Amino acid sequence: MLVHICCAVDSHYFLQKLRRDYPDERLIGFFYDPNIHPYSEYRLRLLEVERSCRQLGIELIEGPYDYEAWMDAVRGLENEPEKGKRCAVCFDRRFEVSAAKAAELEERCFTSTLLTSPKKSLKQLREEGERLAERYGLEFVAPDYRKASGTQEQNLMAKEARLYRQDYCGCLFGLTIQRQQQEKLADELMVPISGQIQPESIEERLTLYEKRIELEERGVPYQIVKERFLNWRLLWGVLRVRKEPVPAHVLPYSTLKKEYTRGRVDGTWGALALMNRDEVKFITLADYNRHTGRSYPDVTHLIFAPPPFDEELTLRRKLLPNPYDLSALLVVESIPDNKIEITLQTRLFEDVRERLIFHDER
């Protein structure tokens, strides 16, 4: 039996139930989910599915990440709600590729872990699966493992296995609508041009779960703990001196009361130059290099290849000892001595992140 897999939380439970109910079937996992965006989230979910399948002894095949074909298929349905027409097209696309793969492998039946997801319509999934099964001469197996407290059992099993729990289906359109309803920033879709890994970004989570697998392979005990913190994102910013753009690197947790300010430098505080309005502060690239032990030749190189976020946060705390200081702090090649204009769009928001705790004595 070919089993289309959407995520580890669903598959870890679903595969074990299938194994119990269909003991004579050889189960083959098929991860085909081009609906998952961004690609880093796709990699993270695949990583967890691979881990789950290894633990369960299930063969796993990865399908193509043909997201452009998926985007074409749902074009015009971007604003459809959850369980609406876009979801039907999405299921149809993934089920059709899964059915074709089952036929290619000469399997007699296929199914999908989507059947156990409490946010999906079981009726809708069964109709799509049965229609495609008939086309490919297969049987669509559609057990209802949600009933009889199945969803609660699934959640307990996922917790015991310490599985990554995503909080959106994977679709960028569904995510956008969900975050709008929650009045939250869809920061999952934001990656800085520098490639710097941001706190509680998908890239940070991917790094954490890759490290977790490494620890498990080496037999090192670990914990994943959650912490509530104040997160920050830079959306965009520009520094102008005498109306001309000047390269400037914005350090973490820099904010302005409004998105625009102007003024002049009229004082210093240690290595910092102080602007006369809105608590803006500057540090030269030479002082930045001295404090961080780096050797950036110019600010442009720093903008596109900064050090890790935590390293810059350490520098900020060194320069501004107050841990609650949200002053805008910019790195420039030389301190501006003319009229300054700054446009800075940032977001501060409460967030929760996971932290990997371990003590490696090896």
Cα-based torsion angle of the residue sequence 89, 80, 183, 259 in order, rounded to the nearest 10 degrees: 90
pTM to 2 decimals? 0.91
362 pLDDT above the threshold of 60:
no
Q: What integer is the mean pLDDT of 169-198?
A: 92
117 pLDDT above the threshold of 90:
no
Q: Reduce the DSSP state of residue 311 to 3 states and report it.
A: helix
CB 25 within 8 A of CB 1: yes
**Distance between start and end Cα atoms, the chain:** 42
213 pLDDT above the threshold of 90:
yes
The Cα-based distances of 318 to 313, 324, 328 in angstroms read 9, 13, 15
Render pLDDT for 31-41 as a digit per residue (tens, 0 to 9). Answer: 999 999 999 99
Nearest to 90 by CA among 31, 171, 9: 171
Nearest to 145 by CA among 119, 100, 113: 113
Alpha-carbon Rg of the chain, whole angstroms?
25
In the chain, the amino acid numbered 160 is E
- Cα diameter, the chain: 80
- The percent helix, strand, coil of the chain (3-state, each to 5) is 40, 25, 35
List the domains of the chain with CATH numbers. Answer: 2-166 (3.40.50.620), 230-352 (no CATH)
93 pLDDT above the threshold of 80:
yes
Q: What integer is the mean pLDDT of 330-348?
A: 97
User: pLDDT over 70 for what percent of the chain?
Assistant: 99
